[in-house]
Structure 1
């Protein structure tokens, strides 16, 4: 019997500053580990003011994780210690596996009108793969298949499967799915999900009703958690829905369309030791990583 997922939690993204002074909103992060296992954080960087993002994310290290950058408007210039460099433009995605270690920079540039819109997701790596060889999967917009269902729902398949199409990002250890979905007004969308996988939706435009439930939005004030049961059953822009386990998720709309990122992955279930851009299993492994960064032995792979 097919079981529909129910809402486990609803989170409103919160303003924060990262990098050299980039103003963004964090949908979830440090305090939610291991609730989103295998995922570590999701940042929403969108602005019409270049001063919010042009300082960017200058050279910094990563080890033990994957960073997934999805750009919808504007450009992000990037370069790394392996000699890779390029531009992530509107509709493109970059799936970077830091593995044993990489030093890189990401510098948002916006579009000709100064608009920047994108998202960065961090995914953990299991202990057996934390020291794997670093790699990139850079995918241009035209390579991402888009499915249009009979009711007008549009699905961009970045990773995983939908509507008989397979996304171009493949061979990822935690068996993730990453879809960009737009459901038109007065419509319904149902998508199968793998049992035991963590599944969440992050609304980036409009509003929708998930699981036919009234959401209970959690938020924090001065370190105290509060909950607010909404009067209407809609989840709106810049809000995240984390689902309970089940075989499928469902969303419906009324007088307004909804666009959201649907992301899922297989939980790792291992200890997490996390400091800044490095995520390992133990505090000792963290100490070694930063000692290596300071003494110049952090990078294990030679330049291409």
Structure 2
């Protein structure tokens, strides 16, 4: 059964951190989530005034953050002593777990800064596990070249096309995430198995595409939540398309969120706030 376009979530312009201009699709309200995904932000500007303030030191607890840099240079530093440069094509996969305090600051004063940050929830059993951090350089993220001239960059999960299977560097998580960057020339089609029971959405950031029967269009700057099904088929529009494909196993647990803390109950949120104020957040 093919997945259909079920809901459109146009990205809204807003700001975060120290005035960084972003577009937020998932996560713009509590109703605009898709278990296990909490939020997706796109940042994209050539003006330093839109990004130079960066994201000074701040806490997280109870989920994972995934930053994918298309163009630009950011520096991550955290309370565990990790320090990592995030450059064009790189990914940072950070598990906040019981707590992490970190900063993400631009290392450029001119040129384009373009990328994404996604928040991925953790089940209750994992929310208080030790924090972890992984830098994934672009050279470690495989790209599958398609026979139709398209390509798929596989960050998490795997993709099979033309008899070849490529596995991304992120495997074995309880939410079973798929994170693909799919680029197609005009009129080209991408077909892929996407197991039933996984929640999935697309985010188009270049061109447009059509999906489903009858075909529905998904334009640049919008997320498209997909119906359940066993496979995904998308077709690029006249200008071609570049889209993120994200899918994951729903956790099906209550969500309590206060800013950078995502737990299951209001009491756990209160505990996180108190821990942060008392210097206990990160253990």
Report TM bin, short chain. over 0.9
Checking the alignment, whether the CA contact within 8 Å between 1:212 and 1:251 is kept in structure 2 is: no
Distance of 1:67 and 1:119 partners within structure 2: 10
Checking the alignment, whether the CA contact within 8 Å between 2:48 and 2:110 is kept in structure 1 is: no
Work out which of the residue numbers 274, 278, 282 in structure 2 matches 1:295. 278
Distance of 1:60 and 1:172 partners within structure 2: 25
Distance of 1:137 and 1:92 partners within structure 2: 11
1:99-110 equivalences under 5 Å are 99-110=97-108
Distance of 1:187 and 1:212 partners within structure 2: 17
Report how far residue 254 of structure 1 moved: 4.1
1:187-202 equivalences under 5 Å are 187-202=188-203
Which residue of the partner structure matches residue 179 of structure 2?
178
1:250 pairs with 2:233: yes
Report how far residue 248 of structure 1 moved: 0.7
The 1:15–1:55 alpha-carbon spacing in structure 2 relative to 1, beyond 3 Å, is same
User: Per-residue CA shift, 1:73-108, capped at 9, x if unaligned?
Assistant: 001111000000121000000110000100000113
Report how far residue 65 of structure 1 moved: 0.5
Distance of 2:129 and 2:181 partners within structure 1: 29
Which residue of the partner structure matches residue 279 of structure 1?
262
Checking the alignment, whether the CA contact within 8 Å between 1:208 and 1:252 is kept in structure 2 is: yes
1:144-155 equivalences under 5 Å are 144-155=141-152
Residue 51 of structure 1: SS of its match in structure 2? helix
Checking the alignment, whether the CA contact within 8 Å between 2:64 and 2:93 is kept in structure 1 is: yes
Residue ranges of structure 1 left out of the alignment (5+ in a row): 216-233
Distance of 2:237 and 2:125 partners within structure 1: 46
The 1:30–1:256 alpha-carbon spacing in structure 2 relative to 1, beyond 3 Å, is closer
Residue ranges of structure 2 left out of the alignment (5+ in a row): none
Which residue of the partner structure matches residue 121 of structure 1?
118
Checking the alignment, whether the CA contact within 8 Å between 2:202 and 2:245 is kept in structure 1 is: yes
Report how far residue 235 of structure 1 moved: 1.8
Report how far residue 34 of structure 1 moved: 7.2
Checking the alignment, whether the CA contact within 8 Å between 1:139 and 1:169 is kept in structure 2 is: no
Report how far residue 212 of structure 1 moved: 4.3
Report how far residue 18 of structure 1 moved: 0.7
Which residue of the partner structure matches residue 43 of structure 2?
45
Distance of 1:257 and 1:34 partners within structure 2: 27
Report how far residue 169 of structure 1 moved: 1.7
Which residue of the partner structure matches residue 228 of structure 1?
none
Work out which of the residue numbers 108, 127, 130 in structure 2 matches 1:130. 127
1:65 pairs with 2:89: no
Which residue of the partner structure matches residue 17 of structure 2?
19
User: Number of aligned pairs?
Assistant: 279
In the superposition, the TM-score normalised over structure 2's length comes to 0.95
Q: CA RMSD in A?
A: 1.4
Distance of 1:108 and 1:170 partners within structure 2: 29
Report how far residue 35 of structure 1 moved: 4.3
In the superposition, the TM-score normalised over structure 1's length comes to 0.89
Work out which of the residue numbers 85, 92, 114 in structure 1 matches 2:83. 85
